[in-house]
Homo-oligomer: A and B are copies of this chain.
């Protein structure tokens, strides 16, 4: 539970427009904690005791149906907030958050939110922007699922992951955390089998290089082309 240096987080959207002193005051209410790879930060349905800011690592937010099917809502990258249940009026987490890599998160108790917002109104507007952006992204996802075929959706998903969490190598862009075929299937609304077939295909064309929970985009530009080609008819 070491102290967090305000200058490390000052540039984040959440804290846009705050002075260092204000930041310090806000950070005083939070505590940081480590989450080893594959451990849950919180579980769907659990009481929303805290909201979080990811400092290091990567976290997967996933939603499960009563019958056990899952979808990946998103991958959280360092600097992003998650578990904002209370800000949007929920008392329980609507999804499960799992560290996919050893991660460090900063957590504020849910109860601190109203006080913080009252004292620092920009927190609300900044959060509104963040949530709004996520709403846009979710709508885009619906649009893609409605109008594109699986191969294009997978292409888009990988390109987004590369953009968000890509590590530049000289021979391509690597997605910087462990991700399985199953995960990608759950991001794109398909099955791990289909994802596997698609990636095998791409691999034999030299578009990607992939292995166990590991994907490198070797020809990002060609994947962009794949993503954008409109298969065929209207809807």
Chain A interface residues (CB < 8 Å from chain B): 63, 65-71, 73, 84, 87-90, 94-95, 117-118, 121, 124-125, 127-129, 131-136, 138-139, 141-143, 145-147, 185-186, 189, 191, 230, 234-235
Contacts and interface: CB of A to CB of B under 8 A. Distances in A.
B124 A131 contact: no
A145 B143 contact: no
Given A88-B131, A124-B125, A189 B145 contact: yes
A40 to B, nearest CB: 19
A143 B142 CA distance: 10
A234 B134 contact: no
* Interface of A: prevailing SS: helix
Given A73-B139, A88-B136, A189 B128 contact: no
Nearest to A114: B125
Given A84-B132, A121-B124, A128-B128, A234 B68 contact: yes
A10 to B, nearest CB: 19
A87 B128 contact: yes
Nearest to A135: B135
B189 A142 contact: yes
Contact of A131 (B131, B142, B230): B131
A88 B68 CA distance: 33
A92 to B, nearest CB: 12
Most B-side CB within 10 Å, residue of A87, A95, A143: A143
A8 to B, nearest CB: 24
A133 B128 CA distance: 12
Contact of A132 (B118, B131, B186): B131
Per CB-CB distance, the 4 closest pairs between chain A and chain B, nearest first, are A88-B132, A138-B138, A146-B189, A124-B124
Given A143-B71, A185-B235, A235-B185, A94 B136 contact: yes
25 contacts: A65-B143, A65-B147, A65-B230, A66-B230, A69-B143, A71-B143, A71-B146, A73-B139, A88-B131, A88-B133, A88-B135, A89-B129, A90-B136, A94-B136, A117-B121, A118-B121, A124-B128, A128-B128, A128-B131, A131-B131, A131-B132, A135-B135, A138-B138, A138-B142, A185-B235
